[in-house]
Amino acid sequence: MSSLRFAWWNTGLSHSRAPGAASDDDRKAVAEVITRLTLEERCSVVALAEVHREATIDLIPKQIRGTWRCLQEVSPAPDDYDLDVLWDADLVQPQLQEISWLSSSFVGARVRPGVVARFSTSTGDDLVVAAAHWRSNMGDTENAGSLRSRAAEALRNAIGAAVFEGIPVMVLGDLNLEPFDRALQTVFPTSRYRDVVRRHQERNPSDTLFYNPSWRWLGERMPWSAGERPSSLAGTYHEGKWVPSAWRTFDQVLVSAPLVGEKGWVLREADLGIWIDSTVFDFQKSRPRKPFDHLPLLGTLDLVAKPRQPIDRSES
């Protein structure tokens, strides 16, 4: 059995609406986190948001950079993607086969549903990884919600065929909505109920249902104890204010049924969660360490050997 360690993180480095806004100090801080994720946590797939037109391959530690590859949109569009996906070509067993940068629109506004990458292996254990960063509520809240719904619809349509074929699909992203948001109930159906996802039988490529383990991160991570006085951590994003809604669970991992199965690529759910290393989280202030406002997600997929098929001796 082999494993694949992965990470998702909205770095806050450079959004598509403000390319090149990052300072050298911010880049150093992000590079320090990525060094920890790759060298110490041994992540071999790292998906990043808010890295618009950044040389993200340079954020990988120099001593391992030679084997890493970067999936990055380089179109001249003024509002192109701020997503990158990086992977270690030596450690990631699947080889990249297909890439789709998705595009849609809503009432004239451009929608960026995400990027979908399909990896294939000689053993037939294919894996589809999608990364997404959907519109926030800044500005027109009602319109932002509509744009997110259109993005969710476009992403579901793009991965529906793979789901229908039984290929495991994993979505990593800052969706700018909570796991209980309506868009994740109707447009891109997900469930916190693992068994109902495992039992779901798709009638067609649009009939998808994903398991959302991110429900686990809605409340306080560390139970209260007066003697210990633990830090307050109740989500993946902190807006930096002392308000009841300061913590939000915007960063999520969604997986199709095979990833909560028993063979092929399987999610090691006990190993999935919010990464609260001191490089990104200030335990005294109970919030992400400046200049960050999102915390990374870290997880593992295991490649579980398929049972051997019995030899048919009926004609022997």
Q: For residue 65, which phi and psi values (nearest 5 degrees)? A: -60, -30
Helices (H), the chain: 24-35, 141-164, 194-199
DSSP string, 241-295: SSSTT-EE--EEEEE-GGGGSSSEEEE-GGG-EE---TTTEETTTTEEPTT--B-
- State which CATH number among 1.20.120.610, 3.60.10.10, 3.40.50.2000, 1.10.10.10 fits the domain covering 2-304: 3.60.10.10
Helix-then-strand count for the chain, H and E = 3, 20
In sequence order, which residues have a C-beta less than 8 Å from that of residue 152 and are 6 or more positions away? 113, 134, 175, 183, 184, 187, 188
Supply the pTM of this predicted model.
Answer: 0.92
Q: What is the pLDDT of residues 173-225, one digit of tens each?
A: 999 999 999 999 999 999 999 999 999 999 999 999 999 999 999 999 989 98
- Asked whether the bond before 288 is cis by omega within 30 degrees of 0, the reply is no
Q: What is the pLDDT of residues 246-270, one digit of tens each?
A: 999 999 999 999 999 999 999 999 9
pLDDT number for residue 312? 53
Residue percentage of the chain with pLDDT more than 70: 91
- Structural domain spans, the chain: 2-304
